[in-house]
Structure 1
Amino acid sequence: MNNIQTILRDWYIVKILDEKQSLIGQVLWAFVVEDNTGRFNIGDYLCTSLIVKINNNLIITASGSEYIVEGIGKEFEADIAELEQLRRGHSPFQVSRLRKVH
């Protein structure tokens, strides 16, 4: 394992689906507990690039970033438009609430 520098909590594996409900890929959405890279502040949210590997509590993304996740994560399904909402800071919970409004 490389020098892991970003630890996350309250995390979701977000399955990105196309209009036919086929899986395009997965991203990680979570809150930062600790970050020694200088990219994030404690308490910030993040939405990663596509996940390429999940190994227990280590998640590696297509951009080469490695994250340690704490606790039990959840799964969430989103379409491409909802992925943009997640990247702008909406939580999966908020995205699911917005679905009910529309």
Structure 2
Amino acid sequence: MGANRSASEVRKLAEAPLNFGKGSRACLYCKLVQTYEQFIDNGCGNCVTLNMKGDKDRVSELTTSNYSGMVSLLDGRASWVGKWLRLDTCVPGCYALSLHSSTSIR
């Protein structure tokens, strides 16, 4: 994050996935990538209203392991990639480039 930002502008960071193998999943709504356990422990940093934190059924229902590509985003508002992928309002973190699940919400 840029040095020009005030403390009130510093945004919460999503926890980076602990592994990028079979255990990683992407949120069907915002494409945030984390492990299954991270979604259970923390929920989705963007989609708090989906109430995934602590709910294994919701995590299974609202995330997918069927995605391809990934981009790491530190400041979506200052990044042309973040704007292009419509992630400019999302928390900094790792995001899937495309979801291959037939139940994508977005």
TM-score under structure 2 normalisation? 0.27
Higher strand share: 1
TM-score under structure 1 normalisation? 0.28
Higher helix share: 2
